[in-house]
Amino acid sequence: MNQTEAKQKVEELREQLNRYNYEYHVQDNPSVSDYEYDMKMRELVDLEEQFPDLVTADSPSQRVGGPPLDAFQKVQHNVPMLSLGNAFNEEELRDFDRRARGGVDEDIQYVCELKIDGLAVSLTYEDGLFVRGATRGDGTTGEDITKNLRTIRNIPLRLKEAESLEVRGEAYMPKRSFIKLNEEKEANGEEPFANPRNAAAGSLRQLDPKIAAKRNLDIFLYGVGEWQTSELGSHSERLEKMEQLGLKTNPEWQKCDDIDAVIDYVNGWVERRMDLDYEIDGIVIKVDRLDQQEALGFTAKSPRWAIAYKFPAEEAITKLKDIELSVGRTGAVTPTALLDPVKVAGTTVQRASLHNEDLIREKDIRIGDTVVIKKAGDIIPEVVRVLTEERTGEEKEYYMPEHCPECGSELVRLEEEVALRCINPNCPAQLREGLIHFVSRNAMNIDGLGEKVIAQLFKENLVATIADLYKLAREELLKLERMGEKSVDNLLNAIHASKENSLERLLFGLGIRYVGSKAAKTLAEAFGTMDNLQKASYEDLLAINEIGDKMADSIYRYFEEEKVEALISELKELGLNMEYKGRRKSEQASDSPFTGKTIVLTGKMESFTRSEAKQNVEDLGGKITGSVSKNTDLLIAGEDAGSKLDKARELGVEIWDEEKFKQALNA
């Protein structure tokens, strides 16, 4: 291929990949499978390596993150990024409405938008090309985080029209990404993020863009700083035009004719916000017409034509009764607060993570304290602060032990880790937690082997390793408390059935450091068999998409261990399947009823766990999302389906019950 042919092919691939990115990340409506996308991307990267002078800043290949930066450069905002005034109740919203109507002396329409709990950023485009991205900073001066923002796949590197403009929005971390990131950080003995907002901000302020690239960030654009060529007359028209340009706006915005409609919108989202896959902390209300915005003007700190309604804080006060320690399967020792039961964000909370000793010292948490707790990001119970004025003098300071609470081995703090760790490989707690992980739903999914049963088997010295589970005898189990003939038979049948699981479940169950369920499936699909994976070199592992340096090193070192080789051999002899049984992406049926569709699962199913149903859909080319929107093609509803079912009916989304889902899978 000569230079001219290569240039033509590169431009064609970029156009296709940009369109696929927009369909997948903005419209939630992909037109091609992940495999097809990956093949196109690989073809583009190969061509750019052969013809490096063809690489441009707007190429989809430039989203993986470049070399680390020395520091962030300062950026001046030509139009200040002002903060908004706040309203905390209906009366304050009506006061805002009276002031706005008094300032223009004519009817006003409002636009209501969800207030995303993330990091405010500015994106600048010149002739349609993304040239700079910056943080809000102090409103007039921010930091240049262009390289990190390039890694967010729904930020278009080139607009659909050659517009020059600066838009504002909120970069955020979806709940699922936040949970996964914190699980990884805690497993590695690192300080977890307190909430998704901090996680997003921390990710975008990394000097190494490759870190941001791995964190699955997202963005919604909601406003304009500068747009000199635009003749649009309202904020709602701007939102519609931004979407036409390929910029991702939040689909839940609504135009309201008066303040009563605004209040109805606000009240509706107070109830529904838990259904979203991202955090919101309120509603932003803006005067729609731009000429009215101009007439109302600004105070020194905020616009008079907009206000943020803030949701009531989901906090509660309770007593911290004690602190207990748990030892995880990687040896990390984690303190947990035991609380008097209290209701927070709709659930009763009795425990809250304290993460590590540094946090206990920083917040001066003592046993017997009266504390304020909240669900961090409405997800994880967390101690916010101590009410020191409530102290009686009977509270006790807490000190982490020097020795493992399970095996008595000396605890260590490894370099660059905040957690204390037990490094005894034979620690009973680590062995027990490893077994609990192995039998869990996303791993081998052995029904009937919960934490209590595993603990009982351990206590009676019936199991010490994974392989021991497959050697359990009926007579031994019948001697245990609360183990009748039927429950023993069911348990043994479940253990036997797990031998047929596909390879990815076994890989995840083994608990290889840094390997989650998604990475396990990637490895199983790429190598096909356990033998192939065991023989893989570090370079072979690194060549797999989504497997980074740290994970490749961990996997390679894991399979180098003699005891691991012995365990795998024993599991093979015991009859466990060592092959990938899933459908390869390249083999996905093009005529599947799920191919290319955006699908939401809700309610409880009798024949499938949620993860099994999700896996079935994805294996057949469908994409599962967490919330219903205008881009949803299909809702699959089990028993006790709630608000998602109501919204699907409201939007006219096709709805299937479990029986129809099963028929489609068997078609």
Q: Please report how many Cα atoms fall inside a 13 Å half-sphere around the Cα of residue 583, on the Cβ side.
A: 17
Domain 588-666: which topology?
Answer: Rossmann fold (3.40.50)
Exposed, middle or buried by CB within 10 Å (0-12, 13-18, 19+), for 342?
A: middle
Rounded to whole angstroms, the Cα distance separating 342 from 384 reads: 14
pLDDT of residue 377: 46
pLDDT of residue 186: 72
* H or E element in which residue 381 lies: strand 380-386
- CATH of region 428-573, choose from 1.20.200.10, 3.30.1490.20, 3.30.590.10, 1.10.150.20: 1.10.150.20
Which residue out of 40, 115, 286, 623 is catalytically annotated? Answer: 115
Q: Which of 359, 354, 345, 347 is nearest to 311 (CA)?
A: 345
Contact residues for 583 (Cβ-Cβ < 8 A; gap 6+): 619, 620
* Cα 584–chain centre separation: 25
Contact residues for 401 (Cβ-Cβ < 8 A; gap 6+): 325, 411
* DSSP secondary structure letter of residue 547: -
């240049």: which residue's tokens?
Answer: 144
* Cα 581–chain centre separation: 27
pLDDT of residue 654: 93
Rounded to whole angstroms, the Cα distance separating 642 from 624 reads: 18
Torsion-angle region of residue 597: left (phi > 0), alpha (psi -120 to 50) or beta? beta
Rounded to whole angstroms, the Cα distance separating 83 from 301 reads: 7
pLDDT of residue 340: 94
Rounded to whole angstroms, the Cα distance separating 590 from 455 reads: 47
Q: Which of 221, 166, 207, 173 is nearest to 193 (CA)?
A: 173
For the sheet containing 654-657, what is the strand order?
A: 623-625, 598-602, 634-637, 654-657
Residues 628-647 pLDDT 10s? 888 889 999 988 787 788 88
Rounded to whole angstroms, the Cα distance separating 600 from 614 reads: 9
Rounded to whole angstroms, the Cα distance separating 639 from 653 reads: 18
Residue 260 CA: distances (Å) to CA of 91, 94, 95, 103, 286: 11, 9, 12, 19, 14
Residue 115 annotated in active site: yes
3-state secondary structure of 142: strand
What residue ranges do the domains of the chain occupy?
A: 3-63, 85-310, 315-412, 428-573, 588-666
Instruction: At 101, list the tokens.
Output: 């109507």
Contact residues for 270 (Cβ-Cβ < 8 A; gap 6+): 311
CATH entry 1.10.10.10 includes domain 315-412: no
Residue 565's CB is within 10 A of a number of other CB atoms, namely 12
CATH class, range 3-63? mainly alpha
Low-confidence ranges of the chain (pLDDT < 70): 24-30, 33-35, 38, 63-70, 189, 300, 313, 345-347, 376-380, 415-416, 583-591, 667
Homologous superfamily, domain 85-310 = DNA ligase/mRNA capping enzyme (3.30.470.30)
